């Protein structure tokens, strides 16, 4: 009598049980995503493979990925890829895992960038905002700034895949340092966009473990009241933008009013907020006046 050889369906059920016991919210979905990664199969093909016997080698690899997921590591980090604005971005330990809600900023840039326009992305991370805009707009160019060398290396790799060529440049700078904005060369920008760190320092310990343990602290920590980066960026923005240029800032929950007030204090006009798909105020926008008052 031959022993029953484990199928991929058996392995999936076992993995989903492990993930469920570890407190993972959608255990079967995540188990399928990880198995798809191991077998190089999309969801439709995976269904066809479910009744196949599982090979020892692939089973071992699958079990390793399931163990990482059970430890709280997000699926995108395990895969090393995250879909953003319809394109695959490489993600790794040095960068924030791009969030779907940030796509609102891409739409806002695309709606306001003039023909042949120049875009500056402060805190570029994986490059998800800057590169998504430039990939949609072959006439435009842009610069991505970050204080993290590993983030810039990742953004550069993503640029080679998503927007190769001379239209994009990256620059290492720390907006907390005096004179950082003067280190940027070239004409003023039509848009300054940023998704800066905005979590108040004291709230970081209470974040979900998937965020707290896997997104870099540098990408999260917004200082005592969460507004440190906004103060720096908003005060530098008038000098970086051309007259009539737009400032577009992602904001955290409850921060839209404070960030709008910061922008109003340095003379921005046409101030407003953009809502994400859940109806929450996700970004603050403002315009540099044509003439400085
Ligand atoms: C919330 S992440 C945003 C990353 C990416 N733009 C996105 O939307 O997924 C903030 C980024 O700001 C960078 N950053 C933090 N402090 C900075 C500073 N003082 N100067 C420049 N960049 C900084 C971090 O390294 C991180 O990549």
Please write the tens of the pLDDT for every residue from 35-75: 999 999 988 899 999 999 999 999 999 999 999 999 999 99
This prediction has a pTM of: 0.93
Confidence grade of residue 4 (pLDDT, cut at 50, 70, 90): low
Give the position, in ligand 1's atom list, of the atom nearest the Cα of 124: 6
The domain 92-287 having CATH identifier 3.40.50.150: the answer here is yes
What is the structure's pLDDT at 3?
58
Per domain, the residue ranges of the chain are 8-72, 92-287
Cβ proximity of 197 and 229 under 8 Å? yes
> For residue 271, what is the DSSP state?
E
Q: Checking DSSP bridges between strand 189-194 and strand 241-250, what pairing results, if any?
A: parallel
CA 156 – ligand 1 centroid, Å = 15
- Nearest residue by C-alpha to atom 6 in ligand 1: 124
Strand partners, 88: 83
Report percent pLDDT > 90 for the chain.
90
In short, whether 76's Cβ falls inside 6 Å of ligand 1 is no
Strand stretches in 124-232, DSSP E = 141-146, 168-172, 189-194
Q: Is the pLDDT of residue 217 over 70?
A: yes
In short, whether 175's Cβ falls inside 6 Å of ligand 1 is yes
Confidence grade of residue 5 (pLDDT, cut at 50, 70, 90): confident
In short, whether 196's Cβ falls inside 6 Å of ligand 1 is yes
In short, whether 176's Cβ falls inside 6 Å of ligand 1 is yes
Tell me the two tokens of residue 173.
């700078």
Give the position, in ligand 1's atom list, of the atom nearest the Cα of 98: 9
- Nearest residue by C-alpha to atom 24 in ligand 1: 219
CA distance 210 to 69: 10
Q: Checking DSSP bridges between strand 241-250 and strand 281-287, what pairing results, if any?
A: antiparallel
CA distance 196 to 129: 12
Burial of 202 (0-12, 13-18, 19+ CB in 10 A): exposed
**Among 77, 147, 214, which residue has the most ligand 1 atoms within 8 Å of its CB, making it the best to mutate?**
147
């Amino acid at each position: 009598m031959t022993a029953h050889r484990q199928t991929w369906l058996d392995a999936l059920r076992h993995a989903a049980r492990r993930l469920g016991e570890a407190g993972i919210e959608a255990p079967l979905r995540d188990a399928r995503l990880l198995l798809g990664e191991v077998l190089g199969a999309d969801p439709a093909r995976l269904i066809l493979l479910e009744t196949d016997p599982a090979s020892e080698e692939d089973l071992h690899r699958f079990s390793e990925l399931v163990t990482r997921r059970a430890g709280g590591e997000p699926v995108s980090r395990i895969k090393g890829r995250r879909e953003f604005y319809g394109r695959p971005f490489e993600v790794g330990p040095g960068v924030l895992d791009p969030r779907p809600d940030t796509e609102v900023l891409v739409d806002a840039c695309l709606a306001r960038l003039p023909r042949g326009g120049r875009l500056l992305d402060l805190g570029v991370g994986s490059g998800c905002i800057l590169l998504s805009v430039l990939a949609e707009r072959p006439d435009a160019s842009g610069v991505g700034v970050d204080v993290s060398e590993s983030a810039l290396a990742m953004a550069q790799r993503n640029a080679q895949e998503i927007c190769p060529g001379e239209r994009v440049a990256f620059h290492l700078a720390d907006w907390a340092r005096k004179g950082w904005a003067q280190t940027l060369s070239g004409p003023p920008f039509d848009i300054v966009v940023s998704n800066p760190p905005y979590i108040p320092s004291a709230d970081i310990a209470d974040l979900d473990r998937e965020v707290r343990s896997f997104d870099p602290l540098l990408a999260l920590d917004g200082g005592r009241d969460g507004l440190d980066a906004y103060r720096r960026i908003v005060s530098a923005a008038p000098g970086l933008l051309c007259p009539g240029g737009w400032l577009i800032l992602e904001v955290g929950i409850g921060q839209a009013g404070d960030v709008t007030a910061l922008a109003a204090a340095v003379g921005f006009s046409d101030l407003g907020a953009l809502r994400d798909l859940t109806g929450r105020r996700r970004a603050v926008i403002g315009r540099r006046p044509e003439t400085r008052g």
